[in-house]
Amino acid sequence: MTSLKPLAGALALTFLAVLAGGACLSLAVEALRGSTEGFAAFDSYLWRIARFTLLQALLSMLLSVAFAIPLARALHAHPAFLGRAVILRLFALPLALPALVAVLGITSIYGRNGLLAALFGWLGLDVIPNIYGLTGILIAHVFFNLPLATRLILSSLDSIPEDYWKLSSQLGMGGWARFRLIEWPVILRNLSGIAGLVFMLCITSFTIVLTLGGGPRATTLEVAIYQSLHFDFDIARAVSLTLVQLCLTVAVLSFLSLTGRPTEEGFSLRTTTRRFDQPSRGTKLWNGVLIVLGLLFVALPMAGTVVSGLAADLTRLLGESLVWRAILTSLIIGASAAALSLIISLALVVAREYLASQRRYAPPKLFERSLDLGASLIMVVPPIVIGAGWFILSRRFVDPFSLAPIMVVSVNAAMAIPFAFRILRPTWDTAASRHNRLCAQLGIGGWNRLYLIDWPVLKRPSSVAFAFAMALSLGDLGTIALFGNNSIQTLPYLLLQRMGSYRTQDAAGLALVLGVLCLLLMIAADRGASTLAKREVRNIG
Amino acid sequence: MAEHSRHFTGASIRLDTVDFDYGDMAMHFDLTIEPSTITAVIGPSGSGKSTLLNLIAGFETAKYGRIMIAGTEVTHAAPSERPVSMVFQDNNLFAHLDVAANIGLGRRPDLKLNETDKAAIAQAIQKVGLSGKEKRKPEALSGGERQRVAIARALVRNRPVLLLDEAFASLGPALRHEMLDLVGILQEKAGMTMVMVTHHPDDALRLNSRLIFLDNGKIAASGSAKELLSDNGPSLLRKYLGAEDSAQ
């Protein structure tokens, strides 16, 4: 019997191709249609924005990675201190923390009325911190990417064989020799991939620049695309900005593919290999200072979100029907996007593995490679580009705002696919390699195989992927900012509106609600991932 | 589908000038295995031992030639359609299913078991010495017990050919001998045709089997284990066993 798996993969790929390809095609047609206006839009303003986009991404990347290396080393040197697991869990949170929530937390610490300003005042210093502009963007980007880079570098350090540490201890290597001969080669091998990933995330950052950027002097391409469509309705400029953004992401991803990706981090806490070196008292102190500073940098804005949120009139806020409608809309959109991303990722993973097992020793064909690439398509064509493309295309036929639910669900689902794919694929590939021969011999196929063999294995990673995808979707502002209107408002959209109308306390309260929702989903995902890791160890049938 | 094997007697196996390419390596097998016998296959790593079993089981397809089991051509038949059960070195069990369910799959792939099936499963569990452990998951079993479950499943499947692909390689010597004795007894009672890949020539002696020595994808020697493993055995086999080196 012919398997339906490749067909499922083809359908998933078609969906992604239509979503990204439709947007690109629309932009290309628009660019050709109004080429004179289009070329005029490639002015000094555009190049200034492109330069700033690159500059802020470069600085964010350098700062994040430069601080992450010593922090990861410090965490790796002390694999068993009290609270280490909590720190690592905390470092996983920014990954799913909505950018808008983080921005409010950062403002509560580094803003004009924040903790830092109060500290300066207490010390009698006449310094008023200015969070808006490049400084704020950099702080927010480092807040998000320092923990990510730290976890990735820590993961690289975890891959160093235990024997190396035995050897370094036996040979009496000092701190510098250990770094140069053991740690640095491993870090270096993954550094370009980690730096590239952070650069990529910063180049496509939208919410942070939208809220902390200060006018034309601190605007990135993504924000300029949004402004040109939402406020100026300048299609020619939107098209030129989008094309430049697309070229930038393609260039960065091409560079990344040449330099290699960072080691897969996974979503659970890994056990660090045992180290046999004894750090000196001075090293311990230095490492302690680094860990505390890193912890404060990440934890304070989160604590700030909670404190400001609790100071808001939550009873009144939660009594507003508008708030409940936004929560419900967010949950429905989040759940739909998560379900769609899960279905597409499963189809891609299952079809890819089927084709790989069928070809045996032959090299992978185009279709199989396309299934892999399809999962990462959203990295090449950022959500805002897809949104802009479909916004421009749809306005010829319908009111673009009426497409809001479909567009937000589709783009959010696509956003979560790279993560869902990575969560599902290892479990599925391992299970398939274990089960395929046995199922073939016992004649277990079709529904029997799905119900008895595959679903019990996929159940947990699917829930993890679902929870993670839903958290991502709940916090997204990119597409809803473009398509949102009075009839469809998600929680981040409502939050942005309250921030825009200077109802800061309301915004803080909504940020707390949004943060708690995402946190609960992340805890569910993390718990699921930890169980998955344990099951992998026990899974020895 | 499985009705042909309900008689539970051995079946002959014939590999008629079978060619198979594994990457750059060309393999060639021309071989007849008599019904209800035990054949041990030994040879260096990469000599084609597992490939030979995979060809018989249907996990690999011959490039040229024919494979016959009990006189019926099965060259292009799916693994589940062949009168063959196979026990692998690892991953014989589904980790999320208990012992009884893992064995039950050998009876019905949808696990909709009737009373006859349940009785057959209980009997097989008893035969392999796992009574009382029906509800255990594989993680709660030792390595030897897991292989017993796989053998029990082979028993309830009632296929006339049993293939063991280094099935006991990960067990200690005492447990390996125990398992060999168990399959020896079961084979004798059921009259199955058994082919086993092993790295231990003494396994063939223990089961008093026929021995096939593979080298570089071809049958380099074939005969009774006692003869081949004696001092007068073929030079290539003696070299593989390290006997010539130690003699020198």
What is the pLDDT of chain A when averaged over all its residues? 84
> Per the CB < 8 Å rule, is B80 touching A443?
yes
* First-residue to last-residue Cα distance in chain B: 55
From A295, A311, A327, the end of a domain falls on A311
Min Cα distance A433 → chain B (Å) is: 9
Whether A403 has a pLDDT exceeding 60, the answer reads yes
Are the Cβ atoms of A541 and B59 closer than 8 angstroms?
no
Q: Which long-range contacts (CB under 8 A, 24 or more apart) does A303-307 make?
A: A303/A105, A304/A104, A304/A105, A304/A106, A304/A107, A304/A108, A304/A109, A304/A114, A304/A115, A305/A101, A305/A102, A305/A104, A305/A105, A305/A108, A305/A508, A305/A511, A305/A512, A305/A515, A306/A512, A306/A515, A307/A108
Cβ separation of B85 and A448 shorter than 8 Å?
Answer: no
CATH code assigned at A19 = 1.10.3720.10
pLDDT surpassing 50 at residue B232: yes
- Domain end call among A296, A311, A326: A311
Cβ contact A441–B84 (<8 Å)? yes
Which residue range(s) make up the domain with A212? Answer: 56-311
Does B79 reside within a domain?
yes
In this structure, are B242 and B165 located in the same domain? Answer: yes
Q: Do B94 and A443 touch (CB under 8 A)?
A: no
For an interface test with B, give the residue of A359, A438, A536 to mutate (most B CBs within 10 A): A438
Assigned domain for A282 exists = yes
Q: How far is A270 from chain B (nearest CA, A)?
A: 22
Q: How many CB pairs under 8 A join A and B?
A: 67
Report which of residues A36 and A13 the model is more confident about: A13
Domain containing B200: what range?
3-83+161-247
Give the span between the Cα atoms of B229 and B11, in whole angstroms. 26
B63/B154 same-domain check: no
Residue B237 lies in a domain: yes
CB contact under 8 A, B109 and A440: no
pLDDT(A537) > 60: no
Best probe of the A interface among B110, B112, B147, B165, by most A CBs < 10 A, is B110
User: Could you report the predicted ipTM of this complex, rounded to two decimals?
Assistant: 0.74
Residues A22 and A162 occupy one common structural domain: no
Angle between helices A235-259 and A184-203 (to 10 degrees): 170
Q: Are residues B176 and B239 in the same domain?
A: yes
Q: Determine whether the interchain pair B79/A437 forms a contact, defined as Cβ–Cβ distance below 8 Å.
A: yes
Q: List CB contacts (< 8 A) between A538 and chain B.
A: 95, 139
**Average pLDDT in chain B:** 88
Distance from CA of A539 to the nearest CA of B (A): 6
A436's enclosing H/E stretch is: helix A404-442
Nearest CA in chain A to B147: A541
- B162 strand-pairing partners: B85, B194
- Answer with the one of B107, B125, B158 that is the final residue of a domain: B158
DSSP assignment of B138-186? GGGS-HHHHHHHHHHHHHHHT-SEEEEESTTTTS-HHHHHHHHHHHHHH
Decide which of B158, B179, B194 is a domain's last residue: B158
Instruction: Out of B80, B85, B105, name the one closest to residue A440 (CB).
Output: B80
A493 domain residue, yes or no: yes
Instruction: State how far the Cα of B159 lies from the Cα of B187, in Å rounded to an integer.
Output: 12
Q: Is A80 on the interface with B (CB under 8 A)?
A: no
Task: Tell me the residue type at A296.
Answer: L
Per-residue model confidence (pLDDT) at position A3: 77
Top pLDDT among B155 and A533 is at B155
Q: Residue A539: its chain B contacts at CB < 8 A?
A: 95, 139
Q: Are A117 and A262 within one domain?
A: yes
Select from A415, A418, A414 the least CA-distant residue to A373: A418
Is there a contact between A541 and B92 if contact means CB atoms under 8 Å apart? yes
* β partners of residue A217: none
Whether residue A230 sits in one domain with residue A143: yes
Write out chain B residues lying below 8 Å of A448, CB-based. Answer: 109-111
Share of chain A above pLDDT 70, in %: 92
Q: Which two tokens stand for residue A274?
A: 């045992």
β-strand B38-42 against B193-197: which pairing, if any? parallel
B89 occurs within a structural domain: no
**Exposed (0-12), middle (13-18) or buried (19+): which is A122, by Cβ within 10 Å?**
exposed
The two three-digit tokens of residue B40, written as one number: 């041990």
> Which of A434, A442, A539 is nearest residue B80 as measured by Cβ atoms?
A442
Interface touch B86/A441, C-beta < 8 Å? yes
| Smallest CA–CA distance from A437 into chain B, residue | B59
B166 and B242 in a single domain? The answer is: yes
In terms of Cα–Cα distance, which of B77, B17, B20, B11 is closest to B49? B20
Where b means 16+ CB within 10 Å and e means fewer, B123-151 reads ebbebbebeebeeebbeebeebbbbbbbb
Strand partners of residue B18: B29
For residue B234, report the phi and psi dihedrals to the nearest 5 degrees: -60, 145
Task: Please write the tens of the pLDDT for every residue from B91-108.
Answer: 888 888 899 999 999 888
pLDDT reading at A94 higher than 90: no
Q: Is B79 found in the same domain as B101? A: no
Same structural domain, A202 and A216: yes
Q: Which of B57, B86, B94 sits opposite A541 (nearest CB)?
A: B94
Residues of chain A with C-beta less than 8 angstroms from the C-beta of B58? 440-441
* Chain B touched by A450 (CB under 8 Å): no
Residue A292 is predicted with a pLDDT of 95
Cβ–Cβ of A435/B58 closer than 8 Å? Answer: no
Task: Confirm if B207 and B36 have CB atoms less than 8 A apart.
Answer: no
Q: Write down the pTM of the prediction.
A: 0.77
Q: Is B91 close to A434, i.e. CB distance below 8 A?
A: yes
Nearest to A441 among B23, B79, B93 (CB): B79
Of residues A3 and A345, the one with the higher pLDDT is A345
Rounded CA separation A485/A506 (Å)? 19
Same domain membership, residue A15 and residue A77 = no
Q: Which of B23, B88, B105 sits opposite A442 (nearest CB)?
A: B105
Domain membership of residue A85 (yes or no) is: yes
B17-55 burial, b if ≥16 CB within 10 A, otherwise e? ebebebeeeebbbebebebbbbbbbbbeeebbbbbbbbb
DSSP string across A451-470: IIIIHHHHHHHHHHHHHHHH
Same domain for A322 and A289, yes or no, is no
CB-CB under 8 Å, A440 with B59: yes
B69 in the same domain as B172: yes
Q: What is the pLDDT of residues A344-399, one digit of tens each?
A: 999 999 999 999 888 777 788 888 888 887 887 777 788 888 888 888 888 888 88
Collect all residues with Cβ–Cβ distance below 8 Å to A258 and sequence separation of at least 6.
none
Determine, for residues A539 and B139 on separate chains, whether the beta-carbon distance falls below 8 Å. yes
Q: How many domains does chain A have?
A: 2
B131 and B9 in one domain? no
The sign of the dihedral angle between the CA atoms of A435, A440, A443, A446 is positive
Q: Do A540 and B95 touch (CB under 8 A)?
A: yes
- Among chain A residues, the shortest Cα distance to B23 is held by A361
Contact A540 B84 (CB under 8 A): no
How far, in whole angstroms, is CA A12 from its chain's centroid?
Answer: 21
Q: What local confidence, expressed as pLDDT, does residue A504 receive?
A: 81
Nearby residues of A313 by Cβ (< 8 Å), 6 or more positions away: A505, A506, A509
Residues from chain B that touch A436, judged by Cβ atoms under 8 A, are none
B139 closest CB neighbour out of A438, A440, A540: A540
Domain stop point among A284, A311, A338: A311
- Which one of B95, B106, B146 has the shortest CB-CB distance to A442? B106
User: Which pLDDT score is estimated for A358?
Assistant: 83
Does residue B42 fall inside a structural domain?
A: yes
Positive or negative, the CA dihedral A204, A210, A213, A215 is positive
In a domain, B235, yes or no: yes
Q: A330 to chain B nearest CA, in Å?
A: 36
Distance, in Å, from the CA atom of A530 to the CA atom of A31, rounded to the nearest integer, reads: 48
Q: Give the chain B residue nearest A363 (alpha carbons).
A: B23
CATH number at residue B183: 3.40.50.300
Give the number of domains in chain B: 2
* A422-462 pLDDT, tens digit each: 888 888 888 888 898 889 889 888 888 888 898 888 888 88
Residues B132, B232, single domain; the answer is no
Query: Domain check: are A460 and A484 in the same one?
Result: yes
Q: Are residues A294 and A326 in the same domain?
A: no
Domain presence at residue B88: no
Closest approach of chain A CAs to the CA of B15, in angstroms? Answer: 20
B117 and B170 part of one domain: no
Judged against a pLDDT cut of 90, whether residue A191 lies above it is answered with no
| Within a domain: B224 | yes
Task: Pick the last residue of a domain from B158, B174, B199.
Answer: B158
- Identify the pLDDT of residue A349: 92
A47 in any annotated domain: no
Mean local confidence (pLDDT), B9-32: 90
Partner-chain contact B95 A541, CB within 8 Å = yes
One domain for residues B11 and B107: no
pLDDT given for residue B12 in this prediction: 94
- Whether B26 and B130 map to the same domain: the answer is no
Which chain A residues are within 8 Å of B88, Cβ to Cβ?
Answer: 437-438
Tell me the two tokens of residue A276: 């046999």
Asked whether residue A428 is assigned to any structural domain, the reply reads yes
Task: Tell me the per-residue pLDDT of A404-417, one tens digit each, with 9 for 90 and over.
Answer: 888 899 999 998 89
Q: Based on the domain organization, do B135 and B101 belong to the same domain?
A: yes
Q: Read off the amino acid at residue A475.
A: G
